[in-house]
């Protein structure tokens, strides 16, 4: 039971936190401007700033005195004599397929060993042979130029395990990947060293809203934001005009720096993955 004053204060604090996280993106969108790094969490992922700003306590809480609030009419909430709470049964029935897939993916990824030797080459494979195929983020120059980027890809051993990164490879780059991830093999191939699998924890958190708390959602958002910055600093793009120093993975020092950061993110992601699995366990255990 959360007393009315407490849940109102927590909702207001959440709104302030989200306003800070989204204000630059919303200002750019209003001005018709784009940011090649920071817009990603609002454009690639489908959770809008408006949805992010809604505060949810998560499964297992009852909000005292909220029966007449707007929240009582939100999807997957229900009124009780004492307040408003998650409609667990309705949520489980409505989202059964997604819940099942999320549990399989999160649990198999959590149990897999972290692979730390990819060095972010998926981003390079997405612009391989860019003269022929065109360039993603074409408003940003390539740090080594098109030919230099191609040389790095051709000299590398690319072993990307993440389907949603692999599917953006150029046609010329796909045969160079040692693995062939598919949507069907996703639960067998994802592993906790993968930056994109760890960014996707944000996706699974918002897909499980309102069973997932907004506190956990913002933890996943923060991790995804920091991973995105590493992902792009290690990419072939020259982001110096945007204030980002490169992690030059074409050098031994750059690869070592990338692997250290990747290991840290892998450890953080396992903690959040465990928290999301705990929410799924709690959903299953609720009457």
Q: What is the pLDDT along the chain (287 residues), one digit of tens a residue?
A: 999 999 999 999 999 999 999 999 999 999 999 999 999 999 999 999 999 999 999 999 999 999 988 999 999 999 999 999 999 999 999 999 999 999 999 999 999 999 999 999 999 999 999 998 887 777 899 999 999 999 999 999 999 999 999 999 999 999 999 999 999 999 999 999 999 999 999 999 999 999 999 999 999 999 999 999 999 999 999 999 999 999 999 999 999 999 999 999 999 999 999 999 999 999 988 76
pLDDT of residue 135: 75
Task: Order the strands of the 62-64 sheet from edge to edge.
Answer: 62-64, 83-86, 77-79
DSSP H stretches of helix in the chain = 4-31, 40-43, 49-52, 88-94, 96-111, 121-125, 130-133, 145-155, 163-166, 186-189, 195-199, 201-207, 214-233, 252-285
* Structure token pair of residue 71: 């929240």
Q: Are strands 62-64 and 83-86 parallel, antiparallel or unpaired?
A: antiparallel
Q: Give the torsion through C-alpha atoms of 234, 235, 236, 242, to 10 deg.
A: -90
Question: Residue 56 is encoded by which pair of tokens?
Answer: 């949810």
CB 126 within 8 A of CB 173: yes
Considering only CA atoms, which of 200, 166, 208 is closest in space to residue 183?
166
Which 3-state string (H, E, C) describes 122-143? HHHHCCCCHHHHCCCCCCCCEC
Residue 287 pLDDT: 65
Residue 106: Cβ within 10 Å count: 23
Residue 247 contacts residue 47 (beta carbons within 8 Å): no
> 274: cis peptide before it, omega within 30°?
no
The size of the chain, in residues, is 287
Give the integer Cα–Cα distance in Å for 96 and 98: 6
């Amino acid at each position: 039971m959360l007393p009315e004053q407490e849940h109102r204060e927590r909702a207001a604090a959440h709104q302030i936190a989200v306003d800070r996280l989204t204000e630059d993106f919303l200002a750019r969108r209003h001005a018709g401007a784009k940011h090649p790094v920071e817009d990603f969490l609002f454009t690639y992922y489908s959770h809008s700033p408006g949805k992010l700003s809604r505060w949810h306590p998560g499964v297992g809480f009852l909000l005292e005195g909220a029966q007449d609030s707007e929240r009582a009419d939100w999807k997957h909430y229900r009124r009780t004599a004492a307040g408003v709470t998650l409609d667990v049964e309705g949520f489980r029935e409505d989202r059964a397929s997604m819940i099942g897939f999320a549990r399989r993916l999160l649990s198999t990824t959590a149990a897999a060993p972290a692979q730390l030797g990819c060095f972010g080459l998926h981003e390079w494979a997405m612009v391989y042979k860019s003269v022929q195929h065109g360039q993603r983020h074409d408003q940003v120059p390539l740090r080594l130029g098109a030919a230099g980027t191609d040389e790095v890809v051709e000299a590398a051993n690319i072993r990307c395990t993440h389907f949603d990164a692999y599917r953006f490879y150029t046609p010329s780059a796909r045969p160079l990947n040692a693995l062939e991830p598919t949507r069907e093999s996703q639960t067998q191939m994802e592993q906790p060293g993968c930056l994109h699998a760890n960014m996707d924890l944000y996706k699974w958190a918002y897909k499980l809203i309102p069973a997932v708390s907004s506190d956990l959602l913002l933890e996943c958002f923060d991790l995804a934001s920091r991973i995105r910055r590493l992902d792009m600093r290690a990419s072939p793009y020259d982001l110096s005009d945007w204030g980002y120093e490169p992690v030059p993975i074409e050098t031994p020092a750059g690869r070592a720096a990338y692997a250290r950061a990747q290991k840290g993110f892998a450890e953080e992601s396992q903690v959040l993955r465990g928290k999301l699995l705990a929410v799924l366990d709690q959903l299953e255990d609720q009457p």
